[in-house]
Amino acid sequence: VQPPEKPLQAEEWDRLRESFQSPEIFEEVMFNSMVRCNSPIDVAKSLLTHVAKSNGDIAYNLLLKYLALCVQQGQTSEIRDVYDIMKIRFRILESGAYNLVIKGLSNSDQWRMGLTLLEEVKKIMIPSRTNYESCIKAASRHQEMNLAFELYHEMLAKDVVPTLDVLQAFFDFSRGMKGAELQKELFGILLYLRENQIYPHKTFMRSIKLWFESIPGGNWRGHLTNIKDSGLCPVCNHQLEDSDLTEEEYNNLRERIIRDVIHGTDTFRKTSPQEFEAFQTFVENRLPFDIVIDGLNVSHIKPRRMQCENLFDAVNCLAKENARLLVLGRKHMLINSSNWKREVMKEMQNKADFFFAENISEDDAFLLYATLRSGKHCKFVTRDFLRDHKACLSDSLTRHLFRKWQLIYRVNSKKMFLSLFIQQPAFSYDCVVQTTGDTWHIPYKDSFEEKYSYQVPRKWLCIQQQ
Amino acid sequence: MQSANVLLKKIVRSSVLPFAAQHGMKKDLFPLHRTLSLSLCLKQDNSGTPSEKLDLDAWKKVMKSGLQEEVSETVAEHKELSTLAAARETLEMWRLAGRSVPENISEEQLKTFMECPSKSAKKKYLKYLHLKELYKKNDRRKMDEKRERKLEAQKQASETDETKRSSFVCLWANTMDKAYSWRAAQAMIFGQPLVFDMSYEKDMSVREVANTVRQIVLSEGCNRRSVDPFHVHFCNLKDDSLYHKEFMKHYREAWGKLLITVTDQCYTDIFPKDKLVYLTADSPKVMKTFDHNKIYIVGSMVDKSIKTGVSLARAKRLGLETAALPLEKYLLWNSGAKNLTLDQMMHILLTLKDTGDWKKALEFVPKRKYCGFVSKPVHELKKTLNLINTLKLGKRQEEVRRQFAKNYSKKLTQK
């Protein structure tokens, strides 16, 4: 339906309504298209007047849609009026109306009214992140940074995740402002990015850079750069943080993997207690390994070749460096078949230790256990991303540790046997926001660049104090 | 509508737009009419008296007037709302705003709603209740209609007044029930046991348990009506469990009279271990034939988020033989998980027991899950399927690439 361009008289609305296929929902459809076409609010008003005069009442959803139209066009006084009417007419409002009113008022000079509404929302539910976003942006736009930060901390305390826009607004609006307290808060946001492994996008990064450079008497200078593979920053010659897990993190991860991934809710789901015990004693007697190989996974690298040949190549290639190898497989590999030749298997067993799990057990869990038990230097070879195992971990912190560890300890299999699989090279430095006090290094992503979750950004913002 | 058409005709007759009158009068009636009538009205408006000027804020007056005094006292009354009442009010407002929210909600449902851990969980639960309410309403409406039709038919029948003659007294339902019970009683003595393993309560949500019990009730019903029923065992069923509560909801008094064996013991305590076979989709072994001397176990579990290996783990722990239905061997699988509902399992097992015909038995697998029955050797079929898929995918990839290139160049030109 195309909404009319000018306000209409009652009879005209009536005529339009009758010509519409289903007159019961005419007003709703008309309002929807008004919002879509951003019609002048006078037209909407004339329709409301018509509805009010013929029914003596206006339904809540129509008011809501009218409100959306007003918010869209920034008609502050109308927003207030509609809100007042809603308040008189209905005892409480629902989240949709509050969202609209708060958003509408925050963008106007009556933004303080939005704050009182936020308080009202809190009485019935947890405000949404957009509620907070509007209020925080409004407060910081009017240079009330204390108030903005108060709201920000409140939302964090309620486990509401702030949008990047909110964080960016803090940097945008405190540009050039003085105050140690303010500076501390903004550093706090950067640390929040660090802790949650969030990478700012390009425009956000620019806001951060401008803020640093605008600190009065701070003498900060920012440069965009790429970090070398060695982890050296070419601008300030500073070495970035090591990506190794700390001793505590490592032990923590190992325990969690044994508890959540291998045992989980039921040890029988992935293995059996007898088998796991047998594997444990097997590993303990032969520790430590340098490389653990997922035999079945590696054997499928080149589909045209015999599976045992693939594995044989891999073992040969890795054994050359005098490393202690462990190959994990399943019992069916021992049966002489077209894919698994007994002689080849025998020869391989001279070069590496083999453990064969039951055919219905999951060998990945063993792979993780053997690698973690061997210590930090041990690597594992597989093309598997082990996502299902990561998902078994119970909390996000451990999941992150797992990912970090996975990136570090996987050998790049592309180099070794020219498989089609491309894995990101493991960096020796840690890709998070980091600081030494007089320098900050912030990884960022180009907004248009597509980024997979397992990739980390290559571009950095280096900020140093002169 | 009619008046509008008359109006239209008038305009046409007055030859404002003679062109429109000649071409596509009927076809373009609606859009034409709208613009025409509008322009006409506006013209009238201009020529009309200035006193007709629209008062755009009139609706505000209407909304504010008359309600003031009535509402103000209710507001005072409900100054302090309890959380439950507040939630109820919010729901009502959501309903007014046009969200899918049920019209009526019980105290219990409201509590479950409040206990939902997240906003999306709340939304989902409300939608579920809303749909349930809609179905119920529709059913009731249909029932009413049916009853009315029946009454009318009766009226007509009494008018014609025709007596039917038959050698049987009409007691169908009752006699059938008796016959079924007789058969079930026989099965309890001589029948092949079939075990439902009720030990998955902790792996399921409340709704999943309810679904499970519903499926079991259906399977019990179809077992009772079959020619040669199984002797159904509910094993590991604790008295105070959720399963039990749900069963009571479905069966009520009939629970005590069911011709099945209910026990809190494990099947390994009742039957010899070497005769038990645990049916699970995760099993590496595929069932070849239905063995009349074995005792098959079905796990009573609905897993909406597919939890692989739960029932296999259970069989492994107890050291039981396992088996999966030969779905791959007989059906060209299309999509969907290989785990079937409990009543489908029951249908399949009953058919196998009676006929041993896999094709007939696997008719009960939902049609959406497979493309057809395997007639040629499987590897040949797979080859053609793969070929088709690669052709399809290959083509699609090409298309995607082309689309992308197109969009990309558009972006560039825009910049």
Asked whether B94 and B123 are in contact (CB, 8 A), the reply is: no
**Nearest C-alpha of chain B: how many angstroms from A405?**
27
Rounded to whole angstroms, the Cα distance separating B245 from B260 reads: 17
Between B189 and B377, where is the model more confident? B189
The predicted-structure confidence for A297-331, as pLDDT tens digits, reads as follows 888 877 778 888 888 888 887 777 677 889 999 98
**Domain annotation covers residue B252:** yes
**Domain annotation covers residue A456:** yes
**Domain annotation covers residue B220:** yes
Per DSSP, A245 falls in state P
Backbone dihedral angles phi then psi of residue B269, each to the nearest 5 degrees: -85, -25
**Domain annotation covers residue B201:** yes
Which structural domain, as residue segments, surrounds residue B220?
Answer: 192-324+337-361
CA of B308: which chain A residue's CA is closest? A269
The predicted-structure confidence for B181-226, as pLDDT tens digits, reads as follows 988 899 999 999 999 999 998 889 888 999 999 999 999 999 999 9
In a shared domain, residues A342 and A298:
yes
CATH of the domain at B221: 3.40.1280.30
Nearest CA to B331 among B382, B373, B380? B373
CATH of the domain at A260: 3.40.50.11980
Q: Is B212 exposed, middle or buried (0-12, 13-18, 19+ CB in 10 A)?
A: buried
**Domain annotation covers residue B155:** no
In a shared domain, residues A364 and A265:
yes
How many distinct structural domains can be found in chain A? 2
Residue A263: count other Cβ atoms within 10 Å of its Cβ.
18
Residue A184: count other Cβ atoms within 10 Å of its Cβ.
10
Distances (CA, A) of A243 to A43, A257, A401, A426: 62, 20, 11, 9
**Domain annotation covers residue B24:** no
The predicted-structure confidence for B276-324, as pLDDT tens digits, reads as follows 999 999 888 999 889 999 999 999 999 887 778 889 999 999 999 999 9
Q: Among A219-223, A420-424, A457-461, B240-244, which is the least confidently predicted range?
A: A420-424
pLDDT at A425 over 50: no
- Token representation of residue B197: 């393993």
**Domain annotation covers residue A46:** no
**Domain annotation covers residue A152:** no
**Domain annotation covers residue A71:** no
Per DSSP, B260 falls in state S
pLDDT at A46 over 80: yes
In a shared domain, residues A445 and A314:
no
Distant-in-sequence, close-in-space partners of A367: CB < 8 Å, separation ≥ 6: A292, A294, A328, A380, A382
- Beta strand B370-373 pairing with B231-235: unpaired
The pLDDT assigned to B47 comes to 39
CATH of the domain at A170: 1.25.40.10
Amino acid letter, residue A174: S
What are the start-end ranges of the H helices in B51-106?
A: 58-64, 68-77, 83-96
Q: Among A114-123, B62-71, B332-341, which is the least confidently predicted range?
A: B62-71
**Domain annotation covers residue A94:** no
Q: Above pLDDT 70, what percent of chain A? A: 93
Chain A to chain B Cβ contacts (< 8 Å): 120
Q: Identify any residues that bridge with A326 across adjacent strands, giving them in sequence order.
A: A292, A353
Q: Above pLDDT 90, what percent of chain A? A: 24
Amino acid letter, residue B31: P
In a shared domain, residues A305 and A365:
yes
Contacts of A18 in chain B (CB under 8 A): 1, 3-4
Nearest neighbour of A269 by CB, restricted to B68, B93, B310: B310
In a shared domain, residues A274 and A338:
yes
pLDDT at A199 over 80: yes
In a shared domain, residues A337 and A229:
no
Nearest CA to A307 among A279, A340, A281, A278? A340
Rounded to whole angstroms, the Cα distance separating B81 from A115 reads: 22
What 3-state class would DSSP assign to A303?
coil
**Domain annotation covers residue A379:** yes
Asked whether the beta carbons of residue A53 and residue B90 sit closer than 8 angstroms, the reply is no
**Domain annotation covers residue A421:** no
**Domain annotation covers residue A45:** no
In a shared domain, residues A256 and A405:
yes
The pLDDT assigned to B352 comes to 93
Asked whether A383 and A364 are in contact (CB, 8 A), the reply is: no
How many distinct structural domains can be found in chain B? 1
What's the mean pLDDT when you consider all of chain B? 78
In a shared domain, residues A404 and A350:
yes
Highest mean pLDDT, choosing among A251-255, A312-316, B37-41: A251-255
Between A305 and A462, where is the model more confident? A462
Q: Among A382-396, B42-56, B365-379, which is the least confidently predicted range?
A: B42-56
ipTM of the complex: 0.79
The pLDDT assigned to B22 comes to 45
User: Given CA atoms A49, A54, A56, A62 in this order, what sign does their dihedral have?
Assistant: negative
**Domain annotation covers residue B379:** no
**Nearest C-alpha of chain A: how many angstroms from B34?**
7
In a shared domain, residues A362 and A431:
no
In a shared domain, residues A175 and A259:
no
The C-alpha R_g of chain A, in whole angstroms, comes to: 31
State the best of B56, B73, B317, B408 to mutate against chain A, taking most chain A CBs within 10 Å: B56
pTM: 0.74
Nearest CA to A8 among B131, B52, B150, B6? B52
Which structural domain, as residue segments, surrounds residue A236?
Answer: 163-242+427-465
The pLDDT assigned to B18 comes to 43
pLDDT at A462 over 90: yes
Between B165 and B64, where is the model more confident? B64
Structural element, H or E, at residue A465: strand A459-465
pLDDT at A454 over 70: no
The predicted-structure confidence for B79-127, as pLDDT tens digits, reads as follows 455 778 888 888 888 998 888 999 989 988 999 898 888 888 999 999 9
What are the start-end ranges of the H helices in A287-431?
A: 295-298, 307-319, 342-351, 363-374, 387-392, 396-409, 413-417
In a shared domain, residues A301 and A203:
no
Rounded to whole angstroms, the Cα distance separating B250 from B217 reads: 8
In a shared domain, residues A187 and A221:
yes
**Nearest C-alpha of chain B: how many angstroms from A85?**
7
Mutual angle of helices A95-106 and B83-96, in 10-degree steps? 80
User: Given CA atoms A374, A377, A380, A384 in this order, what sign does their dihedral have?
Assistant: positive
Contacts of A97 in chain B (CB under 8 A): 93, 97
The pLDDT assigned to B402 comes to 62
